[in-house]
Structure 1
Amino acid sequence: MKEPKDLNVKTIRFPVTIDEKLCKLVKKFSRGKLQLFGQMVEYFHKTGKDPADINDEVLKNTLVKNHDTYIRFIRAQEEKMLIPVKTEVDRMVASQVKIIDSFNSQVLKANRDLLAGQRETDRLLKLIAEKLDDKESLKLKFLYILNYYSKASQNAAPRDKEAFLQEARQHVSKL
């Protein structure tokens, strides 16, 4: 059986200070030096980050770009959807306010007209009540006319009696 060929054929030389830092990372992540080195290379390869870029400008630029993309999306949605919806809602609210105002003014006018009609009816009823005499008042007035005719016609000539009778009829008709 053949032994597997050793893939580790390359060597890197680096200062002791770097080795100390690498050892600390090995302990921290519980990996071997070779494994950690391979993962670091893979990380920079996949992310495209520059290891010299401590402030991670690429990441910042990516975040800013994504942020700008989101803002453009929100503004586009605002233009396409939110503003038209708000405009329509405002128009609908204004329309509803007009309808309510119109309805209220019609109801108020109808109530005023009804109240005026009731007042006029009350006034007419009072006027009718004033013009109508009650039964007792009519009896008294009729008795007064009858007594007047009776006294006036007792000592009067027959032709004057007819005039008194006619006058009594006129007074009775006025009742």
Structure 2
Amino acid sequence: MSRVDENRKSVRFSSQTDGKLGRTKRDLIVQMIDYFYKSKKDPADLNDELLKKELSNGVGRILAFIRKQESDLLAPMFRLSDEVSNLLKLDVTLTNKILENQSKLGAISNEHKNKLIDQTKLLEQLVIGLSSKQQLKKEFRKILAHYISNR
């Protein structure tokens, strides 16, 4: 007489399904039964409204999280990037004005330099003229003194 174990029932799977399990058939069945018992889900009900509702709530929570991140992080970052962009445009404008004014200042500086060079040359000519005038006076005094002494 063979003894029958009340805790054993047979379940058969194809060899492909058996390879996918990754656990014993008995463990799989026990885990499935525990899952359905704890979640109060009927495996025969393919249109499980509770599962649909949970999935819908999950999607809603994810969308709320994304909206919150958008308002807390993305919107301020976009505002700041717009401000930085405007500041860069202003900086480029100011830099161009500075370069333009530096160019004008360089031209004015060159004009003053040329005028100073011209004035320096004129002063040198005056100094040369004055020294030659002094020389002429000395020579004239010598001639006059010589004329007076000979007379």
Q: For CA contacts below 8 A with separation 6 or more, give which structure has more relative contact order.
A: 1
Matched with 1:101 is 92
What is the percent sequence identity of the aligned residues?
26
For residue 48 of structure 1, report the CA deviation from its aligned partner: 2.5
Moved over 3 A (4+): 22-25, 39-42, 53-65, 129-132
- 1:85 matched to 2:77? The reply is yes
Within a 5 Å distance, the mapping from 1:1-175 to structure 2 comes to 19-21=9-11, 28-29=24-25, 40-53=32-45, 59=51, 62-98=54-90, 100-101=91-92, 103-131=94-122, 132-133=124-125, 135=128, 139=132
Question: How far apart, in 2, do the equivalents of 1:41 and 1:135 lie?
Answer: 121
Report how far residue 115 of structure 1 moved: 0.6
User: By how many angstroms is 1:102 displaced?
Assistant: 5.2
1:124 shift after superposition: 0.6
List alignment gaps of at least 5 residues for structure 2.
1-5, 144-151
Letter in 1 for 2:110: R
Any gaps of 5 or more consecutive residues in structure 1? 1-10, 12-18, 151-175
Q: Over aligned residue pairs, what C-alpha RMSD do you find?
A: 4.5
1:50-106 deviation line (CA, Å, top 9, x unaligned): 2125698865663454133202320233134421332133124413531x2354145
Partner AA of 2:114 in structure 1? R
SS of 2:63 mapped into structure 1 = helix
